[in-house]
Amino acid sequence: MKRYLIIGNSAAGVNAAATIRANDKTCSIKIISSETFNSYGRPLISYYLNGKIKPENIYYRDENFYKSSNIEVLLNTKVEKIDTIKKEIIVDLGEKIGYDKLLIATGSNPFIPPIKNLNFNRQKNVFTFLTYNDSIKLKEKITKNSKVVIAGAGLIGLKAAEGLFGQVASITVIDLADRVMASVLDKSEADIIQAHIEQRFISFKLQTSICEVQGGSNVSGVSLSNGETLKCDILIIAVGVRPNIALAKEAGIKTLKGIVVDEYMQTSIKDIYAAGDCVEFSDLLSDESKVFALWSNASSQGEVAGLNMTKIKTKAPKALAMNSISFFGLQLISAGIISNSKSGNNFICSVKNKLRKLNIFNDNLIGFVLINDNQRAGIYTSLISDKTKLSTLSYDITSRDIGFNVYSKDERTRKIWDYKGGY
Amino acid sequence: MRKIYAFESKCLGCGLCEIYCRTAHSRSKDIVKTHKRESITSAIVVEEILSSSTISYFALQCRHCENPKCIKACISGAMYKDDNGVVRNNKEKCVGCLSCVLVCPFGAIKKNDDGKTVSKCDLCVDSGEPFCIKNCPNAAIKFLSEDEARVLK
């Protein structure tokens, strides 16, 4: 009986486990998770924070998933070491668990920047916002009088702000960039998002950063690099995430920014695979190796790893950066390269709270941003991932809303009849 | 598994399929009550093809892919494939994030009018044959197995 071991119980780990079980009914599958809860929709932690979902609906798979698939899960368990020679891992209780095939799906860790007087582990009102536990602890701590400061106006920081809205006295978001979601959006799109969020009396301090925190075991305020000081009772650090590669690195597995894998998700050591936010992978558009902290990418890679671990040779497709997220009802969907600074011709159509931006380069769509204009977004995504020559389409995609009628009759028929999906 | 296939030469673009799709997914199952009292987003897109000489139409809905991208993109676990291969969305779990809309190559998943969930074709699995098929006046959409469809491609 083959022994499959998976470190990590989120999108990559769970999808790998399900795929392994689908292809091998008799093997043993064990998932090790450092978290307290069974797999949950990680991006849903902000929905938990504001009560938009019931706690029982946060779970990614229903209650009997692990049992019915005969997958054993060890929660609250930290892996101390991977012994690649003996093919076993050592967990924090000293227990050794052997494997025939191992998947590392350890995800990301929040990045804690060096800030004077900040001691994340000891200060009781400083939070990160990446796990269900983070969200539960934050929810317990806040009161309607809380003054909240969030460091980071990226996706995580803004979702934390949305989750807290209406439950606290004030929310201030700080970012070094000149705009929100700077790694994803240009100024013109970011300004729409920011203005919409500001209507909820969430304030922004941009182009500045926290250089010092005040207080002892509780942070009482922050000093900014622009000279301002802000009082706060809750500080959330959301300046980004880093791939969790320590375990792999220590075991002698090749790592750069993330764990290095081949297109079959295998690491530099035989029988050890890695998938999800902890790996770096080839970018569809630039061919550069990058870390993609994306749910869909993690579940896809988990599946592909699961296939290869059960000897069904399958290549993982190159990754495409994309996001679909909303803030207070304003929907943002984007994919590919969208920055004006990169080569390409931007077509922008914008009215009030609505925006459609298409980035076209050399007869290819290489990126798009849609704000409150989302119905057929997947057709744009397909044009990017298929590298479709725009001149072969039935009309100029900048001239009207996109539809499946953009393809020629033959192409439409071919896709409708034969398309099978993909990773 | 049977799926819905559109035949462009027969489609009138009348939109009855959308009307019956909404009815099928209503509480009342009554065409008038559905449209007067309920707000339901149809899971079909009727597309228009304009050429210099003619206008033609076709109805498009979820292709129930063998290896669906929408399921992998779903952050809540709401999107799933049932035992018969039908790709379905559990509205109890769906948070309307539109990650599925972002990856569906057919653009066949729609944001629901209530803004909270998405709407997609479920082949009317809970009520027998798809309502759109039964009510298409010109047999422009057919409910076919892959083998049957191949012959008519």
Instruction: Identify the burial level of A67 via C-beta atoms within 10 angstroms of its C-beta, where 0-12 means exposed, 13-18 middle and 19 or more buried.
Output: exposed
Question: What tokens appear for A135 in the block?
Answer: 């969200």
Higher pLDDT, A348 or A12: A12
- Per-residue confidence at A353, pLDDT binned at 50, 70, 90? confident
Question: What tokens appear for A51 in the block?
Answer: 């009560």
- The number of beta carbons lying within 10 Å of the beta carbon of residue A289 is 16
Least confident of A175-184, A335-344, A379-388: A335-344
pLDDT at A351: 79
pLDDT at A340: 65
Residues A86 and A227 grouped into a single domain:
no
Q: Mean pLDDT, to the nearest integer, of B3-10?
A: 95
pLDDT at A307: 98
CA angle A131, A137, A142 (to 5 degrees): 125
Cβ contacts of residue A164 below 8 Å, gap of 6+? Answer: A49, A50, A138, A142, A148, A171
**CA A186 – CA A238 distance, rounded (Å):** 20
- Per-residue confidence at A342, pLDDT binned at 50, 70, 90? low
- Per-residue confidence at A153, pLDDT binned at 50, 70, 90? very high
Domain B65-120 listed as CATH 3.20.20.450: no
Beta bridge partners of A357: A348, A369
Mean pLDDT, chain B, as a whole number?
Answer: 95
Instruction: Considering only the beta carbons, identify the residue of B63, B67, B92 that sits closest to A57.
Output: B92
Quick check: helix, strand or coil at residue A271?
coil
Question: Would you say residue B63 has pLDDT above 90?
Answer: yes
Least confident of A87-96, A210-219, A325-334, A346-355: A346-355
Q: What is the dihedral of CA A8, A11, A13, A19, to 10 degrees?
A: 170
Higher pLDDT, A349 or A79: A79
Contacts of A416 in chain B (CB under 8 A): 5-6, 60, 63, 106
Count Cβ neighbours within 10 Å for each residue of A242-252 and write b for 16 or more, e otherwise. bbbbebbeebe
Q: Mean pLDDT, to the nearest integer, of A211-237?
A: 97
Question: Would you say residue A6 has pLDDT above 80?
Answer: yes
Residues A17 and A30 grouped into a single domain:
yes
**CA A248 – CA A305 distance, rounded (Å):** 16
- The number of beta carbons lying within 10 Å of the beta carbon of residue A199 is 9
Query: Start-end ranges of CATH 3.30.70.20 in chain B?
Result: 1-61+125-153, 65-120
Residues A256 and A344 grouped into a single domain:
no
Instruction: Considering only the beta carbons, identify the residue of A377, A382, A409 that sits closest to B101.
Output: A377
Instruction: Identify the burial level of B38 via C-beta atoms within 10 angstroms of its C-beta, where 0-12 means exposed, 13-18 middle and 19 or more buried.
Output: middle
Q: Mean pLDDT, to the nearest integer, of A351-357?
A: 87
For residue A394, give the nearest of A383, A384, A386, A378 by alpha carbon: A383
Beta-carbon contacts below 8 Å between A and B: 128
Instruction: Identify the burial level of A44 via C-beta atoms within 10 angstroms of its C-beta, where 0-12 means exposed, 13-18 middle and 19 or more buried.
Output: buried
The residue in chain B having the minimum alpha-carbon distance to the alpha carbon of residue A327 is B97
Question: Would you say residue A115 has pLDDT above 60?
Answer: yes
Residues A208 and A287 grouped into a single domain:
no
Residue A382 domain boundaries: 329-418
Contact between chains at B69 and A325 (C-beta distance less than 8 A): no
Q: What secondary structure letter does DSSP report for A201?
A: T
* Residue pointed to by tokens 């497709």: A317
Number of domains within chain A: 3
pLDDT at A265: 98
* Residue A321 counted as domain residue: no
pLDDT at A344: 63
Beta bridge partners of B59: B46
Contacts of B115 in chain A (CB under 8 A): 329
The distance of A233 to chain B (nearest Cα, Å) reads: 30
- Per-residue confidence at A59, pLDDT binned at 50, 70, 90? very high
* Domain at A412, CATH number: 3.30.390.30
pLDDT at A343: 56
Question: Would you say residue A24 has pLDDT above 60?
Answer: yes
**CA A298 – CA A322 distance, rounded (Å):** 13
Residues A61 and A145 grouped into a single domain:
no
Contact between chains at A377 and B115 (C-beta distance less than 8 A): no
The distance of A239 to chain B (nearest Cα, Å) reads: 22
pLDDT at A348: 81
**CA B103 – CA A163 distance, rounded (Å):** 26
Q: Mean pLDDT, to the nearest integer, of A369-379?
A: 92
* Residue A319 counted as domain residue: no
Question: Would you say residue B151 has pLDDT above 80?
Answer: yes
Instruction: Identify the burial level of A100 via C-beta atoms within 10 angstroms of its C-beta, where 0-12 means exposed, 13-18 middle and 19 or more buried.
Output: middle
**CA A298 – CA A319 distance, rounded (Å):** 10
Mean pLDDT, chain A, as a whole number?
Answer: 96
Report residue A45: phi and psi, to 5°: -65, -30
Contacts of B97 in chain A (CB under 8 A): 43, 324-326
Contacts of A404 in chain B (CB under 8 A): 45, 47, 60, 106-107
The distance of A116 to chain B (nearest Cα, Å) reads: 36
* Domain at A30, CATH number: 3.50.50.60
Least confident of A204-218, A224-238, A296-310, A336-350: A336-350
The residue in chain B having the minimum alpha-carbon distance to the alpha carbon of residue A57 is B93
The distance of A382 to chain B (nearest Cα, Å) reads: 5
Residues A305 and A335 grouped into a single domain:
no
- The number of beta carbons lying within 10 Å of the beta carbon of residue A146 is 18
Contact between chains at B65 and A420 (C-beta distance less than 8 A): yes
Question: Would you say residue A164 has pLDDT above 60?
Answer: yes
CATH classification of B1-61+125-153, choosing from 3.10.129.10, 3.30.70.20, 3.40.640.10, 3.30.420.310?
Answer: 3.30.70.20
The distance of B62 to chain A (nearest Cα, Å) reads: 9
pLDDT tens-digit map of A62-99: 989 999 999 999 999 999 999 999 999 999 989 999 99
